[in-house]
Structure 1
Amino acid sequence: MIYLDYQATTPLAPEAFDAMLPWLREDFANPHSAHAAGRKARAAVEAARAEVAALLPPGGGVSFTSGATEALNWAIKGTAGDIVTLATEHAAVLDTVAYARSQGRKVTVLPVGGDGLVDLDRAAEAIMPGTGLVAAMLVNNEIGVIQPVAALADLAHAAGAVMLCDAVQGYGRVPIPAHCDLLAVSAHKIHGPKGIGALWMRDGIALAPLLHGGGQEAGGRSGTLSPALCAGFGVAARLARTGGAEDAAHVARLSAAALARFDAAGWALNGSADQRYKGNLNMRRDGVDVARLMSELRDIAFSAGSACASGSGRSSHVLRAIGLSEAQARSSIRLGFGRYTRENDLILGVDRIIAAARAQWGAA
C-alpha cells in the first residue's frame, strides 16, 4: 500500500506507540484517583499536556478532549453572540454553527476567492460589534491553503469578539498564530493516536461546559482521561517540535517532485499555490472519473475530499466554494504526505494515478 492520505490521518509514530503501552498494561490507574498509582498516571498526563502546549502560544492552557470535533463543538457552543466563519471550514465547524443558528445565534458565512482565501475587507465588514465569535481554519484540510488567521483575529478583537482557530492541519506543521483565543488540535494528524485532541484556551477565556460531570479538566471538560492516549499525544507533539524543520524540508522536496509530474501531465492545482501547506496537494484533471480512478488504484490510498464527508454522495463543499463546477469538483483528488512517505513511493503513486487517468480517455 502506498499511503497518500495524511490529511485524513497519519501513521502512528513508533515512539508514540511505545510510550502508550505501559499505560495500557500495568499502569492502568485512573489519573483522577488520589492514591499513588493514580498520581503516577496523573503525572504522565501532565507531562503530556506540557508537550502539547509547547507547540502552542504562551499565555494559555490545554484541556484534553476526545478529538478536535469535541474541541470545536465546545468552543462554539460555549461562547455567545453572533458568529462569523468561512465557507471552507470543516463540517465540525459548519454543522455546529448551523446548530447555533437554530438556537437563535446570527451566523455569517464568508465566501472565499478562487485561491481559497478570505477577502479581509469583506471580513472587516462582517466582523462588527455584537460579533461574539470568529472561527477560521488555519490550514484547510482539503486544499491546504493557509488563511490569514492573525489578521482575522485582529478584526475579531477590535470588535470585542473571541477568535477560534481550527488548527488541526497546521499544528506541528506551520507556525500557530499567537493572536488566537481558542485553538483546536488533534493527535492523529501529527502521528499520535486517534481518540484524543485538545482545546487551548487563552488565559481569561471562560467557556460554558459541553460535557457535564466531574469537571476533571481545568477548562471544565468532564470525563476520565486516558493516560495512554495522553502519553501518545505528548510524544507525537514532542517529535513534531524537535523534528519540525526536518519534516518541513522533506515535505517540500516531496511536493516539488509530485507537482512537477502533475504539471507535465496537464493537471491543475486547486487553491493558492503560495499560501499553502506543501504536504497537501489537491489536483484536478477535467474529465477524470475520480471514483473509477480510486477503484482501479486500490493499493494507493488517496482521497476525493475530506474523509469526514466520504460516502455522503456530495462533491466537496470546499471545491465548490472556490468556484469549481460540480464536474470539476468531481475530477479532483487530494494527496497528503509527510514524515514517513518515501519519495520513490510518492513518485510511483503519482505516475500510476496520471497513467490511469490518461487511460480513461484513451490517451497515449
Structure 2
Amino acid sequence: MARVYLDWNATAPLRPEARAAMLAAMDVVGNPSSVHSEGRAAKAVIEKARRQVATAFGAEGADVIFTSGATEAAALALAGRDLACAGIEHDAVAAWCTQSLSVDAMGRVSVPDPGRATLQAANSETGVIQALPDGLAVTDATQAFGKIPFAFNWSGAAMALISAHKLGGPKGVGALVVRRGTEVHARILGGGQEMGRRSGTENLIGIAGFGAAAEAAARDLDGGIWADVSELRNILEKSIAESANKTIFVGKDANRLPNTSCFITPGWKGETQVMVMDLAGFAISAGSACSSGKVKASHTLKALGFDDVAASSAIRVSLGPTTTQDDVLRFVDAWTREERKFRNRRQSAARV
C-alpha cells in the first residue's frame, strides 16, 4: 500500500503553487541587484514574494528579510542580545539565549520581561500554543504560520522567525520579519542586499516558491481546512486512547496546533517506534527533525517535567491538509498492533 506521510511539522510537501512559481523563476535570467531590464525582472520576482509573505503573515508595513531559513533568521535576530527563553524552544533559538524562563507542566511559559525574551508561538513537538505578551523581543512563528490565525502586526513582537518549508514552500529559505524601527545588525556582510541586513545574491527560485506557498497557505487557513485536520487529530487520539490506556497525550488539555499529537508510551523508545512505523509504511517523528539521529530524551518534554524514560518514549504525529481519515485509521491500526506486541514482550519479560 502507498506510504502515509505524517510528519508535516518537520516539513510539509511542496505545494503545487510553489512548484509553479519556482519553475517560472528558473527562467528569470538577471541578477536582482543589476539595473538592466533582466535584473529588474528578477528584482520584481523577489518583491512580489516579499509582498505575498508580508500579507499572509499579517506584516504589512514591517520589513521581511529573506534568509536561508528560520535558523539563520534566529541568528540574525538573537546574536549579541541578552535574551531569555524557556527549555521548550527549538535548538536554533535556545543556542542564543543567555537566561532561562520557567515553563509549567502544560508547556506554558511565564515571561516577566517580554522586551528581554524570545518565545515561540507554537511548539513543534507538542503543538502547544503560547499566549504572546505584548512587547516581546522575538517570537519563533515557524510552526504557527499557516496553521492558525496569526498576524505579526498584532502579535506584539518586535521580530519573528518564519520558514518556507513548514507551510509547503521549498527548503532552504525563510525570513526574519522586523517591526520598523527595530535595530538589526547584519551577520553576513558584502553587497548589502536585503536592506543591508543580509548580504549575498538572493535565492530567487526559493523566494518565489516561499511567496506562492505563503499566499496559498493563507487561502487554505481562511477556508477552514485546518478545522478538518483537527478533527482527524482528535479521531487519532481517541482511537489510540481506547486501545492503549497507558499512553500519555502531551498537552492534550492545552491550546494546541490543530495537526499535532505528541504521545508517550513509557518504556517504548521513540526512535524504535519511528523505525517500526517506517517499516509499516508511515513517516512520523520522535521529536524535532533537526535532532534526528540523536539518541537522547526530548529537551522539550524534560522541560515539562517528564523523566528521561518518558521523554525518550515519545513520538510526534503531525497531519496536514491532504491527510485523510483512511490515513489516520490505517496508522492507528498499525501502531496499536505494534503497541500490543511491545506490551506483550514486557509482560513476558516480567514473568521470567
Alignment of 1:321-332 (within 5 A): 321-332=303-314
1:59, distance to aligned residue in structure 2 (A): 3.5
Give the aligned partner of residue 186 of structure 2: 209
Give the aligned partner of residue 23 of structure 2: 21
* Matches of 2:72 and 2:89, distance apart in 1: 15
Alignment of 1:173-212 (within 5 A): 173-176=147-150, 177-212=154-189
* Matches of 1:178 and 1:331, distance apart in 2: 34
* Matches of 2:161 and 2:269, distance apart in 1: 35
1:188, distance to aligned residue in structure 2 (A): 0.1
Partner SS, residue 45 of structure 1 = helix
Contact 1:207 1:219 in 2 (8 A): no
* Match of residue 271, structure 1, among 251, 255, 270: 251
Contact 1:285 1:332 in 2 (8 A): yes
1:214, distance to aligned residue in structure 2 (A): 0.9
* Matches of 2:61 and 2:156, distance apart in 1: 11
Contact 2:85 2:100 in 1 (8 A): yes
* Match of residue 63, structure 2, among 51, 61, 64: 61
Give the aligned partner of residue 285 of structure 1: 265
1:37, distance to aligned residue in structure 2 (A): 1.2
Q: Please say if 1:220 is aligned against 2:197.
A: yes
Partner SS, residue 287 of structure 1 = coil
| TM-score, scaled to structure 1 | 0.88
* Match of residue 235, structure 2, among 236, 254, 257: 257
Give the aligned partner of residue 225 of structure 2: 247
Contact 2:25 2:45 in 1 (8 A): no
TM superposition outliers: structure 1 runs of 4+ over 3 Å: none
* Matches of 1:289 and 1:108, distance apart in 2: 31
1:248, distance to aligned residue in structure 2 (A): 1.4
Q: Which amino acid aligns with 1:264?
A: E
Give the aligned partner of residue 350 of structure 2: none
Contact 1:211 1:221 in 2 (8 A): yes
Give the aligned partner of residue 316 of structure 1: 298
Partner SS, residue 138 of structure 2 = strand
Q: Please say if 1:355 is aligned against 2:337.
A: yes
Give the aligned partner of residue 165 of structure 1: 139
State the percentage of identical aligned residues: 36
Contact 2:192 2:199 in 1 (8 A): yes
1:321, distance to aligned residue in structure 2 (A): 0.6
Contact 2:173 2:207 in 1 (8 A): yes
Partner SS, residue 84 of structure 2 = strand
Alignment length, in residue pairs?
335
Encode CA deviations 1:57-97: one digit per residue, 9 max, x unaligned: 333110100000000110001x54x3121110000011122
1:287, distance to aligned residue in structure 2 (A): 2.8
Q: 1:17 to 1:164 in 2, by over 3 A?
A: same
Give the aligned partner of residue 109 of structure 1: 100
Shifted more, 264-273 versus 137-146: the winner is: 264-273
* Matches of 2:109 and 2:264, distance apart in 1: 22
Structure 1: where are the runs of 5+ without partners? 98-106
Shifted more, 193-202 versus 14-23: the winner is: 14-23
1:111, distance to aligned residue in structure 2 (A): 2.4
Contact 2:147 2:258 in 1 (8 A): no
Give the aligned partner of residue 91 of structure 1: 91
Q: Which amino acid aligns with 1:255?
A: R
1:35, distance to aligned residue in structure 2 (A): 1.3
| TM-score, scaled to structure 2 | 0.91
* Matches of 1:219 and 1:33, distance apart in 2: 16
Partner SS, residue 189 of structure 1 = coil
Give the aligned partner of residue 138 of structure 1: 121
Contact 2:77 2:138 in 1 (8 A): yes
Contact 2:227 2:258 in 1 (8 A): no
Encode CA deviations 1:13-50: one digit per residue, 9 max, x unaligned: 012101111222x3232112111111111111111110
Give the aligned partner of residue 10 of structure 1: 12
Encode CA deviations 1:299-347: one digit per residue, 9 max, x unaligned: 2100111111111222100011111111111211100111121221122
* Matches of 2:242 and 2:331, distance apart in 1: 15
Q: Which amino acid aligns with 1:313?
A: V
Give the aligned partner of residue 100 of structure 1: none
* Matches of 1:277 and 1:193, distance apart in 2: 22
Q: Which amino acid aligns with 1:35?
A: H
1:51, distance to aligned residue in structure 2 (A): 0.6
Encode CA deviations 1:117-156: one digit per residue, 9 max, x unaligned: 113xxx32xx2xxx8631010010111101111x2xx3xx
* Matches of 2:59 and 2:307, distance apart in 1: 39
Give the aligned partner of residue 39 of structure 2: 38
Partner SS, residue 58 of structure 1 = coil
* Matches of 1:49 and 1:16, distance apart in 2: 14
Contact 1:67 1:195 in 2 (8 A): yes
